[in-house]
A and B are shown apart, each in its own frame.
Chain A
Amino acid sequence: MNSALRKRHRFIWLAIGAVIPVLVILSIIYKPHYSENIKILEQPEALDYVASTFENQHLLVNIRTDNSSLQLELEIKKPFKAASASLHIFYNPDEKVNIGRLGGQGIYRFEIKEVPLRIEVFDFIKEEIVTELVF
Protein backbone atom coordinates (compact mmCIF):
# COMPACT_ATOMS: atom_id res chain seq x y z
CA MET A 1 0.00 0.00 0.00
CA ASN A 2 1.09 3.58 -0.51
CA SER A 3 0.84 6.25 2.16
CA ALA A 4 -2.46 7.68 0.84
CA LEU A 5 -4.11 4.26 1.04
CA ARG A 6 -2.72 3.63 4.50
CA LYS A 7 -4.12 6.98 5.64
CA ARG A 8 -7.51 6.14 4.12
CA HIS A 9 -7.54 2.77 5.90
CA ARG A 10 -6.71 4.47 9.19
CA PHE A 11 -9.55 6.98 8.89
CA ILE A 12 -12.06 4.34 7.75
CA TRP A 13 -11.33 2.13 10.77
CA LEU A 14 -11.32 5.07 13.17
CA ALA A 15 -14.78 5.98 11.83
CA ILE A 16 -16.06 2.39 12.02
CA GLY A 17 -14.59 2.01 15.52
CA ALA A 18 -16.37 5.18 16.64
CA VAL A 19 -19.77 4.82 14.95
CA ILE A 20 -20.66 1.12 14.89
CA PRO A 21 -20.24 0.43 18.64
CA VAL A 22 -22.52 3.41 19.40
CA LEU A 23 -25.21 2.08 17.03
CA VAL A 24 -24.83 -1.41 18.48
CA ILE A 25 -25.22 -0.11 22.05
CA LEU A 26 -28.29 1.94 21.05
CA SER A 27 -29.82 -1.11 19.34
CA ILE A 28 -29.34 -3.10 22.57
CA ILE A 29 -30.66 -0.34 24.86
CA TYR A 30 -33.75 0.37 22.78
CA LYS A 31 -34.38 -3.26 21.79
CA PRO A 32 -38.13 -3.90 21.65
CA HIS A 33 -39.16 -6.50 24.21
CA TYR A 34 -40.54 -9.22 21.98
CA SER A 35 -41.74 -12.27 23.84
CA GLU A 36 -38.83 -12.57 26.19
CA ASN A 37 -40.86 -14.51 28.70
CA ILE A 38 -41.46 -17.49 26.44
CA LYS A 39 -39.70 -20.74 27.15
CA ILE A 40 -40.95 -23.17 24.54
CA LEU A 41 -38.85 -26.00 25.94
CA GLU A 42 -40.64 -25.52 29.23
CA GLN A 43 -44.08 -25.61 27.64
CA PRO A 44 -46.61 -26.48 30.35
CA GLU A 45 -48.73 -29.61 30.32
CA ALA A 46 -52.27 -29.15 29.06
CA LEU A 47 -54.79 -28.32 31.76
CA ASP A 48 -57.56 -30.85 32.28
CA TYR A 49 -60.66 -29.37 30.65
CA VAL A 50 -61.43 -27.48 27.46
CA ALA A 51 -63.71 -24.61 28.42
CA SER A 52 -64.19 -23.21 24.94
CA THR A 53 -62.81 -23.49 21.40
CA PHE A 54 -62.28 -20.88 18.67
CA GLU A 55 -61.06 -21.44 15.15
CA ASN A 56 -60.11 -19.77 11.89
CA GLN A 57 -58.24 -21.01 8.80
CA HIS A 58 -54.83 -20.77 10.49
CA LEU A 59 -55.51 -21.39 14.16
CA LEU A 60 -57.37 -23.66 16.52
CA VAL A 61 -57.52 -22.16 20.01
CA ASN A 62 -58.67 -23.98 23.14
CA ILE A 63 -59.19 -22.21 26.42
CA ARG A 64 -58.27 -24.83 29.01
CA THR A 65 -58.81 -24.82 32.73
CA ASP A 66 -58.34 -26.96 35.82
CA ASN A 67 -60.82 -24.83 37.79
CA SER A 68 -58.03 -22.79 39.41
CA SER A 69 -56.11 -21.41 36.38
CA LEU A 70 -56.58 -20.72 32.70
CA GLN A 71 -54.51 -21.73 29.75
CA LEU A 72 -54.61 -20.69 26.09
CA GLU A 73 -53.75 -23.62 23.87
CA LEU A 74 -53.02 -22.64 20.31
CA GLU A 75 -52.60 -25.05 17.43
CA ILE A 76 -51.18 -23.72 14.16
CA LYS A 77 -53.06 -25.64 11.49
CA LYS A 78 -51.49 -24.13 8.43
CA PRO A 79 -48.02 -22.50 8.09
CA PHE A 80 -47.97 -18.72 8.18
CA LYS A 81 -46.31 -16.62 5.52
CA ALA A 82 -44.21 -15.22 8.34
CA ALA A 83 -41.17 -17.26 9.38
CA SER A 84 -41.65 -16.43 13.00
CA ALA A 85 -44.16 -14.31 14.78
CA SER A 86 -45.34 -13.14 18.17
CA LEU A 87 -48.65 -13.90 19.81
CA HIS A 88 -50.39 -10.81 21.17
CA ILE A 89 -53.50 -11.08 23.31
CA PHE A 90 -55.96 -8.32 24.19
CA TYR A 91 -57.73 -8.49 27.57
CA ASN A 92 -59.36 -5.19 26.67
CA PRO A 93 -59.22 -3.13 23.46
CA ASP A 94 -56.38 -0.92 24.76
CA GLU A 95 -54.23 -3.53 26.44
CA LYS A 96 -52.02 -5.54 24.14
CA VAL A 97 -49.83 -8.18 25.83
CA ASN A 98 -47.02 -10.05 24.18
CA ILE A 99 -47.30 -13.54 25.55
CA GLY A 100 -45.15 -15.65 23.31
CA ARG A 101 -43.29 -16.34 20.14
CA LEU A 102 -44.39 -18.80 17.48
CA GLY A 103 -41.64 -20.49 15.53
CA GLY A 104 -43.46 -23.03 13.40
CA GLN A 105 -46.36 -25.43 13.16
CA GLY A 106 -47.43 -27.21 16.33
CA ILE A 107 -49.19 -26.67 19.63
CA TYR A 108 -48.31 -23.83 21.98
CA ARG A 109 -49.65 -23.26 25.49
CA PHE A 110 -49.61 -19.99 27.40
CA GLU A 111 -50.96 -19.18 30.82
CA ILE A 112 -53.56 -16.41 30.79
CA LYS A 113 -55.29 -14.50 33.58
CA GLU A 114 -58.72 -14.40 31.91
CA VAL A 115 -60.33 -15.20 28.56
CA PRO A 116 -59.10 -12.45 26.19
CA LEU A 117 -61.24 -10.37 23.83
CA ARG A 118 -59.10 -11.33 20.89
CA ILE A 119 -55.65 -12.59 19.91
CA GLU A 120 -53.41 -11.68 17.00
CA VAL A 121 -50.37 -13.29 15.43
CA PHE A 122 -47.95 -10.50 14.62
CA ASP A 123 -45.07 -10.68 12.10
CA PHE A 124 -42.42 -8.56 13.81
CA ILE A 125 -40.22 -8.48 10.70
CA LYS A 126 -42.81 -7.10 8.34
CA GLU A 127 -44.58 -5.37 11.22
CA GLU A 128 -47.99 -6.63 10.19
CA ILE A 129 -50.80 -8.79 11.58
CA VAL A 130 -50.69 -12.30 10.09
CA THR A 131 -54.01 -13.49 11.47
CA GLU A 132 -56.37 -12.67 14.32
CA LEU A 133 -59.15 -14.38 16.20
CA VAL A 134 -61.95 -12.66 18.13
CA PHE A 135 -63.40 -14.55 21.08
Chain B
Amino acid sequence: MSLNYSPVLWNKQKRTYDLLIAGFIIIYLIIFSVLTVRLNPELIFETLLIRAFGSLAFLMMTIILCIGPLVRLNSRLLPLLYNRRHLGVSMFLVASIHGIFSILHFHTLGDTNPIISVFTSNMDYNSLVHFPFQVLGFLALLILFFMASTSHDFWLANLGPRFWKALHMTVYFAFSLVIMHVFLGAFQNDTSWMIRILVLIGLSAVVCLHLLAAFKEKRLDDTGQNQTGAWLYVCKTNEIENNRGKITNCKSERVAVFFYDHQLSAVSNVCKHQMGPLGEGKIVDGCITCPWHGYQYNPQNGQTPPPFTEKISTYDLKVQGDEIYINVNPNPEGTHVPPVKIAK
Protein backbone atom coordinates (compact mmCIF):
# COMPACT_ATOMS: atom_id res chain seq x y z
CA MET B 1 0.00 0.00 0.00
CA SER B 2 1.22 3.49 -0.73
CA LEU B 3 -0.40 6.89 -0.37
CA ASN B 4 1.37 8.40 -3.36
CA TYR B 5 1.58 6.86 -6.80
CA SER B 6 5.02 5.78 -7.85
CA PRO B 7 5.85 3.92 -11.09
CA VAL B 8 7.29 1.00 -9.14
CA LEU B 9 7.46 0.50 -5.39
CA TRP B 10 10.80 -1.25 -5.41
CA ASN B 11 11.80 -3.66 -2.71
CA LYS B 12 14.25 -6.56 -2.47
CA GLN B 13 11.68 -9.18 -3.53
CA LYS B 14 10.66 -7.19 -6.61
CA ARG B 15 14.27 -6.73 -7.65
CA THR B 16 14.89 -10.47 -7.28
CA TYR B 17 11.72 -11.26 -9.23
CA ASP B 18 12.67 -8.87 -12.04
CA LEU B 19 16.21 -10.25 -12.22
CA LEU B 20 14.76 -13.73 -12.58
CA ILE B 21 12.47 -12.50 -15.41
CA ALA B 22 15.39 -10.80 -17.20
CA GLY B 23 17.60 -13.88 -16.76
CA PHE B 24 14.86 -16.15 -18.11
CA ILE B 25 14.36 -13.91 -21.18
CA ILE B 26 18.09 -13.77 -21.97
CA ILE B 27 18.62 -17.52 -21.49
CA TYR B 28 15.58 -18.35 -23.65
CA LEU B 29 16.73 -16.08 -26.49
CA ILE B 30 20.23 -17.57 -26.42
CA ILE B 31 18.97 -21.18 -26.41
CA PHE B 32 16.41 -20.44 -29.16
CA SER B 33 19.03 -18.73 -31.35
CA VAL B 34 21.61 -21.49 -30.94
CA LEU B 35 19.09 -24.23 -31.67
CA THR B 36 17.71 -22.35 -34.68
CA VAL B 37 21.14 -21.70 -36.17
CA ARG B 38 21.98 -25.41 -35.77
CA LEU B 39 18.67 -26.83 -36.97
CA ASN B 40 17.63 -24.18 -39.53
CA PRO B 41 20.84 -22.60 -40.77
CA GLU B 42 19.12 -21.17 -43.85
CA LEU B 43 16.90 -18.90 -41.75
CA ILE B 44 17.60 -15.19 -42.13
CA PHE B 45 18.26 -13.03 -39.07
CA GLU B 46 14.97 -11.13 -39.22
CA THR B 47 12.96 -14.35 -39.26
CA LEU B 48 15.00 -15.69 -36.35
CA LEU B 49 14.30 -12.51 -34.38
CA ILE B 50 10.56 -12.63 -35.10
CA ARG B 51 10.29 -16.29 -34.16
CA ALA B 52 12.44 -15.99 -31.03
CA PHE B 53 10.45 -13.11 -29.56
CA GLY B 54 7.10 -14.52 -30.73
CA SER B 55 7.66 -17.91 -29.13
CA LEU B 56 9.03 -16.28 -25.96
CA ALA B 57 5.96 -14.04 -25.66
CA PHE B 58 3.68 -17.07 -26.03
CA LEU B 59 5.61 -19.00 -23.38
CA MET B 60 5.49 -16.04 -20.97
CA MET B 61 1.76 -15.56 -21.58
CA THR B 62 1.12 -19.24 -20.86
CA ILE B 63 3.08 -19.03 -17.60
CA ILE B 64 1.28 -15.84 -16.55
CA LEU B 65 -2.13 -17.37 -17.21
CA CYS B 66 -1.21 -20.49 -15.22
CA ILE B 67 -0.20 -18.51 -12.12
CA GLY B 68 -3.73 -17.38 -11.17
CA PRO B 69 -5.38 -20.83 -11.09
CA LEU B 70 -2.27 -22.47 -9.59
CA VAL B 71 -2.51 -20.09 -6.65
CA ARG B 72 -6.23 -20.86 -6.28
CA LEU B 73 -5.41 -24.57 -6.21
CA ASN B 74 -2.41 -24.29 -3.88
CA SER B 75 -1.82 -21.22 -1.71
CA ARG B 76 1.87 -22.14 -1.22
CA LEU B 77 2.40 -20.78 -4.74
CA LEU B 78 1.29 -17.27 -3.70
CA PRO B 79 4.81 -15.80 -4.11
CA LEU B 80 4.42 -16.34 -7.87
CA LEU B 81 1.51 -13.91 -7.84
CA TYR B 82 3.34 -11.21 -5.94
CA ASN B 83 4.91 -9.47 -8.91
CA ARG B 84 2.88 -10.90 -11.80
CA ARG B 85 2.35 -7.35 -13.04
CA HIS B 86 6.05 -7.03 -13.94
CA LEU B 87 5.95 -10.40 -15.69
CA GLY B 88 2.91 -9.19 -17.67
CA VAL B 89 4.54 -5.92 -18.71
CA SER B 90 7.73 -7.79 -19.68
CA MET B 91 5.64 -10.16 -21.79
CA PHE B 92 4.00 -7.19 -23.52
CA LEU B 93 7.44 -5.71 -24.33
CA VAL B 94 8.63 -9.04 -25.76
CA ALA B 95 5.40 -9.40 -27.79
CA SER B 96 5.85 -5.80 -29.03
CA ILE B 97 9.31 -6.59 -30.37
CA HIS B 98 7.82 -9.57 -32.22
CA GLY B 99 4.96 -7.43 -33.55
CA ILE B 100 7.07 -4.43 -34.57
CA PHE B 101 9.68 -6.55 -36.39
CA SER B 102 6.93 -8.54 -38.10
CA ILE B 103 5.25 -5.35 -39.36
CA LEU B 104 8.60 -3.87 -40.44
CA HIS B 105 9.57 -7.08 -42.18
CA PHE B 106 6.29 -7.96 -43.87
CA HIS B 107 4.53 -4.64 -44.39
CA THR B 108 6.91 -1.73 -44.87
CA LEU B 109 8.20 -2.34 -48.37
CA GLY B 110 4.92 -1.63 -50.09
CA ASP B 111 3.12 1.66 -50.74
CA THR B 112 0.37 1.03 -48.14
CA ASN B 113 0.46 2.22 -44.55
CA PRO B 114 1.97 -0.75 -42.66
CA ILE B 115 -0.88 -0.93 -40.14
CA ILE B 116 -3.49 -0.81 -42.92
CA SER B 117 -1.45 -3.41 -44.77
CA VAL B 118 -1.77 -5.80 -41.80
CA PHE B 119 -5.54 -5.70 -42.25
CA THR B 120 -5.73 -5.53 -46.05
CA SER B 121 -2.82 -7.55 -47.48
CA ASN B 122 -4.82 -10.74 -47.08
CA MET B 123 -8.58 -10.25 -47.36
CA ASP B 124 -9.55 -13.91 -46.92
CA TYR B 125 -11.64 -13.13 -43.86
CA ASN B 126 -14.28 -15.73 -44.70
CA SER B 127 -11.83 -18.64 -44.76
CA LEU B 128 -10.57 -20.48 -41.69
CA VAL B 129 -7.20 -21.78 -42.89
CA HIS B 130 -6.42 -18.76 -45.07
CA PHE B 131 -7.66 -16.29 -42.47
CA PRO B 132 -5.29 -13.27 -42.12
CA PHE B 133 -3.58 -14.55 -38.98
CA GLN B 134 -1.48 -11.40 -38.54
CA VAL B 135 -4.68 -9.48 -37.74
CA LEU B 136 -5.28 -11.85 -34.81
CA GLY B 137 -1.78 -11.20 -33.47
CA PHE B 138 -2.19 -7.45 -33.96
CA LEU B 139 -5.48 -7.39 -32.00
CA ALA B 140 -3.94 -9.49 -29.22
CA LEU B 141 -1.02 -7.05 -29.03
CA LEU B 142 -3.46 -4.14 -28.84
CA ILE B 143 -5.22 -5.75 -25.86
CA LEU B 144 -1.85 -6.39 -24.18
CA PHE B 145 -0.92 -2.76 -24.77
CA PHE B 146 -4.03 -1.50 -22.96
CA MET B 147 -3.45 -3.98 -20.16
CA ALA B 148 0.22 -3.09 -19.71
CA SER B 149 -0.40 0.64 -19.83
CA THR B 150 -3.20 0.45 -17.22
CA SER B 151 -1.57 -2.12 -14.95
CA HIS B 152 -0.66 0.53 -12.37
CA ASP B 153 -2.72 1.33 -9.25
CA PHE B 154 -3.20 4.87 -10.59
CA TRP B 155 -5.35 3.46 -13.40
CA LEU B 156 -7.08 1.01 -11.09
CA ALA B 157 -8.18 3.95 -8.90
CA ASN B 158 -9.16 6.20 -11.80
CA LEU B 159 -10.85 3.69 -14.06
CA GLY B 160 -12.67 2.04 -11.16
CA PRO B 161 -12.30 -1.60 -10.09
CA ARG B 162 -15.19 -2.91 -12.24
CA PHE B 163 -13.97 -1.42 -15.53
CA TRP B 164 -10.34 -2.16 -14.71
CA LYS B 165 -11.10 -5.80 -13.92
CA ALA B 166 -13.20 -6.18 -17.10
CA LEU B 167 -10.37 -4.66 -19.16
CA HIS B 168 -7.82 -7.01 -17.65
CA MET B 169 -10.03 -10.05 -18.15
CA THR B 170 -9.75 -9.46 -21.91
CA VAL B 171 -6.37 -11.21 -21.59
CA TYR B 172 -8.34 -14.45 -21.97
CA PHE B 173 -9.61 -13.25 -25.33
CA ALA B 174 -6.06 -12.16 -26.23
CA PHE B 175 -4.79 -15.65 -25.36
CA SER B 176 -7.40 -17.20 -27.68
CA LEU B 177 -6.37 -14.79 -30.45
CA VAL B 178 -2.71 -15.70 -29.92
CA ILE B 179 -3.46 -19.45 -30.12
CA MET B 180 -5.24 -18.98 -33.45
CA HIS B 181 -2.52 -16.55 -34.63
CA VAL B 182 0.00 -19.34 -34.06
CA PHE B 183 -2.04 -22.17 -35.57
CA LEU B 184 -3.26 -20.20 -38.60
CA GLY B 185 0.10 -18.50 -39.11
CA ALA B 186 3.44 -20.02 -38.22
CA PHE B 187 2.10 -23.56 -38.07
CA GLN B 188 0.64 -23.39 -41.56
CA ASN B 189 4.22 -23.55 -42.84
CA ASP B 190 6.15 -25.22 -40.06
CA THR B 191 6.07 -28.98 -40.25
CA SER B 192 7.45 -29.64 -36.76
CA TRP B 193 4.89 -31.67 -34.81
CA MET B 194 6.94 -31.31 -31.64
CA ILE B 195 6.38 -27.54 -31.58
CA ARG B 196 2.68 -28.00 -32.29
CA ILE B 197 2.41 -30.48 -29.44
CA LEU B 198 4.25 -28.10 -27.07
CA VAL B 199 1.79 -25.31 -27.89
CA LEU B 200 -1.14 -27.69 -27.43
CA ILE B 201 0.27 -28.69 -24.03
CA GLY B 202 0.44 -24.99 -23.12
CA LEU B 203 -3.16 -24.44 -24.22
CA SER B 204 -4.36 -27.54 -22.35
CA ALA B 205 -2.49 -26.53 -19.19
CA VAL B 206 -4.03 -23.05 -19.16
CA VAL B 207 -7.58 -24.24 -19.89
CA CYS B 208 -7.46 -27.24 -17.51
CA LEU B 209 -5.95 -25.27 -14.62
CA HIS B 210 -8.55 -22.51 -14.99
CA LEU B 211 -11.41 -25.02 -15.11
CA LEU B 212 -10.04 -27.02 -12.15
CA ALA B 213 -9.73 -23.83 -10.10
CA ALA B 214 -13.18 -22.63 -11.23
CA PHE B 215 -14.91 -25.85 -10.18
CA LYS B 216 -13.00 -25.95 -6.90
CA GLU B 217 -14.31 -22.43 -6.21
CA LYS B 218 -17.82 -23.46 -7.30
CA ARG B 219 -17.88 -26.25 -4.71
CA LEU B 220 -17.15 -23.68 -1.99
CA ASP B 221 -19.72 -21.27 -3.46
CA ASP B 222 -22.36 -24.01 -3.35
CA THR B 223 -21.92 -24.60 0.40
CA GLY B 224 -24.31 -22.70 2.64
CA GLN B 225 -26.70 -21.99 -0.23
CA ASN B 226 -29.58 -23.68 1.58
CA GLN B 227 -29.02 -21.72 4.77
CA THR B 228 -32.36 -20.38 6.01
CA GLY B 229 -31.63 -18.93 9.47
CA ALA B 230 -29.54 -15.89 10.30
CA TRP B 231 -26.67 -17.86 11.86
CA LEU B 232 -24.39 -20.14 9.88
CA TYR B 233 -21.96 -22.67 11.36
CA VAL B 234 -18.37 -21.86 10.32
CA CYS B 235 -16.02 -24.30 12.08
CA LYS B 236 -14.63 -25.24 15.48
CA THR B 237 -12.51 -22.66 17.28
CA ASN B 238 -9.41 -24.86 17.11
CA GLU B 239 -9.61 -25.08 13.30
CA ILE B 240 -8.29 -21.56 12.75
CA GLU B 241 -4.58 -20.95 13.28
CA ASN B 242 -3.43 -17.92 15.22
CA ASN B 243 -3.29 -14.77 13.00
CA ARG B 244 -4.93 -16.66 10.16
CA GLY B 245 -8.37 -16.77 8.57
CA LYS B 246 -11.03 -19.28 7.65
CA ILE B 247 -13.14 -18.68 4.55
CA THR B 248 -16.83 -19.53 4.53
CA ASN B 249 -19.74 -18.78 2.23
CA CYS B 250 -22.64 -16.51 3.22
CA LYS B 251 -25.43 -15.93 0.70
CA SER B 252 -23.09 -16.65 -2.24
CA GLU B 253 -20.41 -14.27 -0.99
CA ARG B 254 -17.23 -15.27 0.76
CA VAL B 255 -16.52 -14.19 4.32
CA ALA B 256 -13.22 -14.50 6.19
CA VAL B 257 -13.19 -15.25 9.92
CA PHE B 258 -9.88 -14.33 11.57
CA PHE B 259 -8.42 -15.52 14.87
CA TYR B 260 -5.92 -13.20 16.54
CA ASP B 261 -5.04 -12.15 20.12
CA HIS B 262 -7.48 -14.78 21.50
CA GLN B 263 -10.41 -13.22 19.67
CA LEU B 264 -12.39 -13.63 16.45
CA SER B 265 -13.57 -11.13 13.82
CA ALA B 266 -15.25 -11.59 10.46
CA VAL B 267 -15.04 -9.44 7.34
CA SER B 268 -15.82 -9.74 3.63
CA ASN B 269 -13.26 -11.95 1.89
CA VAL B 270 -12.96 -9.56 -1.08
CA CYS B 271 -10.13 -7.01 -1.02
CA LYS B 272 -11.09 -3.60 -2.43
CA HIS B 273 -7.81 -3.34 -4.34
CA GLN B 274 -7.96 -6.17 -6.88
CA MET B 275 -10.54 -8.45 -5.25
CA GLY B 276 -7.88 -10.65 -3.66
CA PRO B 277 -8.94 -13.34 -1.13
CA LEU B 278 -8.35 -11.73 2.26
CA GLY B 279 -9.05 -14.99 4.10
CA GLU B 280 -5.91 -16.47 2.57
CA GLY B 281 -3.83 -13.65 4.04
CA LYS B 282 -2.79 -13.22 7.63
CA ILE B 283 -2.81 -10.68 10.44
CA VAL B 284 0.28 -8.47 10.24
CA ASP B 285 0.76 -5.61 12.75
CA GLY B 286 -2.84 -6.11 13.90
CA CYS B 287 -4.26 -5.76 10.37
CA ILE B 288 -5.67 -8.30 7.93
CA THR B 289 -3.14 -8.29 5.07
CA CYS B 290 -4.22 -9.28 1.55
CA PRO B 291 -2.01 -12.08 0.19
CA TRP B 292 -2.00 -10.58 -3.29
CA HIS B 293 -0.62 -7.06 -2.89
CA GLY B 294 -0.46 -6.39 0.85
CA TYR B 295 -3.57 -4.17 1.28
CA GLN B 296 -4.47 -3.98 4.97
CA TYR B 297 -7.74 -3.76 6.92
CA ASN B 298 -8.61 -3.46 10.59
CA PRO B 299 -10.32 -6.80 11.44
CA GLN B 300 -12.84 -5.17 13.79
CA ASN B 301 -14.24 -2.49 11.46
CA GLY B 302 -13.03 -3.51 7.98
CA GLN B 303 -11.39 -0.12 7.43
CA THR B 304 -7.97 0.47 5.92
CA PRO B 305 -5.60 2.25 8.31
CA PRO B 306 -5.57 6.09 7.93
CA PRO B 307 -4.99 7.92 5.65
CA PHE B 308 -6.54 5.27 3.40
CA THR B 309 -10.30 5.22 3.07
CA GLU B 310 -11.26 1.80 1.71
CA LYS B 311 -13.85 -0.15 3.71
CA ILE B 312 -15.23 -3.68 3.58
CA SER B 313 -18.27 -5.28 5.23
CA THR B 314 -18.03 -6.76 8.71
CA TYR B 315 -20.07 -9.64 10.18
CA ASP B 316 -21.39 -10.54 13.63
CA LEU B 317 -20.02 -13.72 15.20
CA LYS B 318 -20.99 -15.87 18.16
CA VAL B 319 -19.34 -18.88 19.77
CA GLN B 320 -21.38 -21.72 21.28
CA GLY B 321 -19.15 -24.17 23.10
CA ASP B 322 -16.27 -24.55 20.68
CA GLU B 323 -18.36 -23.84 17.56
CA ILE B 324 -18.18 -20.56 15.66
CA TYR B 325 -21.33 -19.16 14.04
CA ILE B 326 -21.62 -16.17 11.73
CA ASN B 327 -24.61 -13.92 11.04
CA VAL B 328 -25.10 -14.23 7.29
CA ASN B 329 -26.36 -10.64 6.99
CA PRO B 330 -23.40 -8.28 6.47
CA ASN B 331 -23.05 -5.01 8.35
CA PRO B 332 -22.53 -1.85 6.27
CA GLU B 333 -18.94 -1.42 5.12
CA GLY B 334 -16.68 -0.08 7.86
CA THR B 335 -19.07 -0.91 10.74
CA HIS B 336 -17.26 -1.63 14.00
CA VAL B 337 -18.07 -5.04 15.46
CA PRO B 338 -16.54 -5.96 18.83
CA PRO B 339 -14.44 -9.10 18.48
CA VAL B 340 -15.60 -12.33 20.14
CA LYS B 341 -13.18 -13.29 22.89
CA ILE B 342 -12.30 -16.94 23.19
CA ALA B 343 -9.91 -18.86 25.39
CA LYS B 344 -7.52 -20.84 23.22
Write the residues of chain A forming the contact surface with B, with a CB cutoff of 8 angstroms.
1-3, 5-6, 8-10, 12-14, 16-17, 19-21, 23-24, 26-28, 30-32, 34-36, 40-41, 81-84, 101, 103-106, 124-127
Contacts of A14 in B (CB 8 A): 211
Interface stretch, picked from B14-22, B87-95, B143-151, B188-196, is B188-196
Contacts of B130 in A (CB 8 A): 32, 127
Most buried by A among B124, B169, B189, B207: B189
> When chains A and B are docked, how far (Å) is the Cα of A129 from the Cα of B200?
33
Q: Is the CB of A9 within 8 A of B106?
A: no
Contacts of A9 in B (CB 8 A): 169, 210, 214
> When chains A and B are docked, how far (Å) is the Cα of A125 from the Cα of B131?
10
Contacts of B200 in A (CB 8 A): 24
Q: Is the CB of B105 within 8 A of A83?
A: yes
Interface stretch, picked from B38-46, B228-236, B283-291, B333-341, is B38-46
B306 at the interface (CB under 8 A from A): no
Interface stretch, picked from B4-12, B172-180, B237-245, B322-330, is B172-180
Contacts of B44 in A (CB 8 A): 83, 103-105
Cβ-neighbour of A16 out of B106, B122, B207, B270 (below 8 A): B207
Once A26-B128, A32-B130 are accepted as A-B contacts, the answer to whether A21 and B203 lie under 8 Å apart by CB is yes
Q: Is the CB of B187 within 8 A of A27?
A: yes
Query: What is the chain A residue whose CB lies nearest that of B276?
Result: A1
23 A-B pairs whose Cβ atoms sit less than 8 Å apart in the complex: A1-B270, A2-B253, A2-B254, A2-B275, A3-B252, A5-B165, A5-B275, A6-B217, A6-B218, A20-B203, A26-B128, A26-B129, A27-B129, A28-B196, A34-B189, A41-B41, A103-B40, A103-B43, A104-B43, A104-B44, A125-B106, A126-B122, A127-B130
Q: Please tell me the size bucket of the interface on B.
A: 35 or more
Extra A-B contacts (14), CB below 8 Å, given A10-B217, A24-B200, A24-B203: A2-B275, A3-B221, A3-B252, A3-B253, A13-B214, A19-B176, A20-B176, A23-B180, A31-B187, A32-B188, A83-B46, A104-B44, A124-B188, A126-B106
Contacts of A19 in B (CB 8 A): 176
Query: What is the chain B residue whose CB lies nearest that of A18?
Result: B207
B227 at the interface (CB under 8 A from A): no
Closest-CB distance, A97 to chain B (whole angstroms): 17
Cβ-neighbour of A6 out of B47, B105, B211, B221 (below 8 A): B221
Contacts of B277 in A (CB 8 A): 1
5 residue pairs, one from A and one from B, having the closest CB atoms: A104-B44, A10-B214, A13-B210, A81-B109, A17-B207
Contacts of A82 in B (CB 8 A): 106
Most buried by B among A31, A36, A40: A31
Query: What is the chain A residue whose CB lies nearest that of B129?
Result: A30
Contacts of A34 in B (CB 8 A): 188-189
Q: Is the CB of A103 within 8 A of B42?
A: yes
> When chains A and B are docked, how far (Å) is the Cα of A8 from the Cα of B43?
44
Contacts of B47 in A (CB 8 A): 83-84, 103-104
Contacts of A101 in B (CB 8 A): 189
> When chains A and B are docked, how far (Å) is the Cα of A33 from the Cα of B287?
63
The interface bits of chain B over 56-74 (1 if a CB of A lies within 8 angstroms of the residue's CB, else 0) are: 0000000000000000000
Query: What is the chain A residue whose CB lies nearest that of B121?
Result: A126
> When chains A and B are docked, how far (Å) is the Cα of A127 from the Cα of B131?
11
The interface bits of chain B over 88-112 (1 if a CB of A lies within 8 angstroms of the residue's CB, else 0) are: 0000000000000000011001100
B134 at the interface (CB under 8 A from A): yes
Closest-CB distance, A10 to chain B (whole angstroms): 4
B183 at the interface (CB under 8 A from A): yes
Q: Is the CB of B207 within 8 A of A30?
A: no
> When chains A and B are docked, how far (Å) is the Cα of A28 from the Cα of B277?
41
